[in-house]
Every structure is written in C-alpha cells, then in structure tokens.
C-alpha cells in the first residue's frame, strides 16, 4: 500500500506535536511514561518557593512543585506536589519547605512518617516551614552583631579614655615621672657602688667581726652546760619564791612600815621622850647647861683637888 503525501505530512505533524508535548513536559520535569501522583500541602507562607522547585526525600529528588495558589476564601496557600516516583509515602509524613542555599532558593522535603497507612493520589500532607539558611545564618549572626556593637562602643570608650590620658599635661607628667625613675635608678646604682666600695675597704674589719661572732658562738656552745645550770638555778629560785609565803612577808613588811611611820609621826608631834627631845628646846638647853656645869666642876676638881679630896696618913 502506497502512502500518499498528505498522509505522510499529517503523520509528521502529529509526531511533531507529540515531540513538542514531550519536550515541554520534559523541560517542566514531568515524565509521560512513568506513573505520576499529585499531593497537596497547605502553608501560611511560601517565601522563595517557586513552581518547578524540587520535591525531595532524604536528599533525592522525586518530583517538583507543580502549582501554587490561594485557598479559596483564605490567605493560606495550597501547593500542588507532582511526584513521579513510585515511592511509598506514609500518611503521617510531613511536607517541609526548606532553604537550599544562601540565595534564598527553596525546595520541599517530604519527611517520612512511620504510619502503616499510605498516602493516595490527591491526599494532603501535613505541612511545616523550616527557616532558610539565610534566616538561620541571620539568627546565628545577630548575637555576634550585638556583641560586636557593644565591643565597638567599649573600644570607643577606651579610645576616649586613652586620648584623655595622653593629653599634653599627662605626657609631660609621664615624661617627668620617667625622668625621676631614671634619676632614682642612677642614685640606686651610685649607692650600690658606694656599698661595694665600703665592703671592699672594710673587708678585713668585717672578717674580724665575723670571726669574733664565730668565737662568741663557740664560747656560748662551750659554756652551754654552765648556761643550763644558771637557768636551772633561776628556775629553782623561782620555784622557791613561788613556794614561800611571800604574800605574808609582804604583809608583815607593810605592818612594820606602818609602825615606823606611826612612830615618826609621834616624834614629829613631840609625843614621848624622844619626841620631846626632838621638839622641846628647853630640854636641850638644860642638857647643854648641865654639861657646861659638869665641865666647870671637873675643871675645878682638877685645879683644886684638895677642896674635894682629903688625904690623911694618920
């Protein structure tokens, strides 16, 4: 059977249309020769998610985002997920939007659940939204940013303090202080040199003093026994004083002193013979007069013995 030209043109046209449809779907990521399923997920927002973005399970692409639109009468967004794999998805699986790079690109990852019941074509998955890498990086960087701002403010304060410290007057005072320290060090060096000179010049005397000290030490060591005896004697004397009735002796001495004081007071008042002798002038004069008369009597006896002594031989 011979094919006509019109039939060949029509057949070629149909082949071209089929090739165009296949190519278009291929570019969209849709395969015409594998089993396909559609699932849905509802989100409050889908920042950065676009049509044809990946749908993945454990990092493996199993489909793409087919379409997105608002839920009728609501601000929520329903996302249509085209799955071109025969993978079995448990009913409690979660469709999570996550960031794939720092530029804000998004994809949907199906986090597999453990339910024995499986999702069927057209079912709706539980949805969740993960922070993008940019958001996560911002959350990590924000505390560092705040600390950096505080650090910069602290550095500014420190620099202000340093500028105030290193003013002209402060620099002059600091230079003066350094000069004083230099002079002090020079004086200390001079003193050290003088001490070295004195030590060198008095080396013999210092040696003699050390020798004498060693001799004294040896003498003390040699007389250690005597020193111990002296200390023992002092201890014995101390024990004797402690054992004696020292308080009684002190009391008796106090009584004796009081008696002597009373006698002295009586003498000063002219009481008694001794008191009158010390305080009465007439007794003194009488004694002086009697002494003078006695002297005259003795002198008269010496000059005129016969008047008082008569000698007779017969």
Condensed to tens digits (0 to 9), the pLDDT of residues 94-145 reads 999 988 877 778 899 999 999 999 988 889 998 888 765 556 666 677 778 7
Q: Report the run of H or E that residue 175 belongs to, with start and end.
A: helix 168-201
Residue 202, phi then psi, degrees to nearest 5:
-105, 20
- Which pLDDT value is given to residue 56? 92
187 vs 310, higher pLDDT: 187
Is the whole-model pTM more than 0.85?
no
Contacting residues for 274 by C-beta, under 8 A, at least 6 apart: 267
d(CA 68, CA 41): 10
User: Which two tokens mark 162?
Assistant: 């340093």
d(CA 245, CA 248): 6
């Amino acid at each position: 059977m011979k094919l006509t030209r019109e039939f060949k043109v029509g057949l070629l046209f149909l082949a071209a249309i089929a090739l165009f449809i296949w190519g278009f779907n291929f570019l969209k990521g849709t395969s015409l020769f594998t089993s396909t399923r559609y699932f849905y997920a509802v989100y409050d927002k889908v920042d950065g998610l676009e049509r044809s973005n990946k749908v993945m399970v454990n990092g493996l692409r199993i489909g793409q985002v087919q379409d997105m639109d608002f839920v009728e009468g609501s601000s929520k967004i329903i996302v249509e997920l085209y799955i071109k794999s025969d993978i079995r998805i448990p009913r409690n699986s979660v469709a999570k939007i996550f960031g794939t790079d720092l530029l804000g690109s998004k994809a949907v990852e199906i986090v597999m659940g453990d339910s024995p019941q499986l999702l069927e074509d057209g079912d709706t998955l539980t949805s969740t939204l993960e922070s993008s890498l940019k958001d996560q990086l911002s959350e990590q960087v924000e505390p560092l940013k705040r600390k950096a701002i505080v650090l910069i403010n602290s550095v500014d304060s420190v620099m202000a303090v340093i500028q105030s410290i290193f003013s002209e007057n402060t620099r002059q005072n600091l230079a003066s202080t350094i000069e004083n320290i230099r002079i002090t060090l020079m004086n200390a060096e001079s003193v050290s040199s003088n001490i070295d000179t004195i030590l060198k010049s008095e080396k013999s005397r210092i040696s003699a003093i050390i020798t004498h000290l060693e001799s004294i030490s040896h003498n003390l060591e040699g007389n250690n026994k005597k020193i111990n005896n002296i200390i023992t004697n002092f201890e014995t004397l101390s024990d004797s004083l402690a054992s004696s009735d020292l308080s009684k002796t002190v009391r008796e001495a106090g009584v004796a002193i009081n008696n002597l004081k009373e006698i002295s007071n009586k003498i000063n008042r002219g009481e008694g013979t001794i008191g009158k002798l010390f305080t009465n002038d007439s007794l003194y004069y009488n004694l002086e007069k009697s002494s003078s008369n006695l002297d005259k009597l003795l002198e008269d006896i010496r000059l005129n013995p016969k008047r008082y002594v008569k000698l007779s031989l017969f």
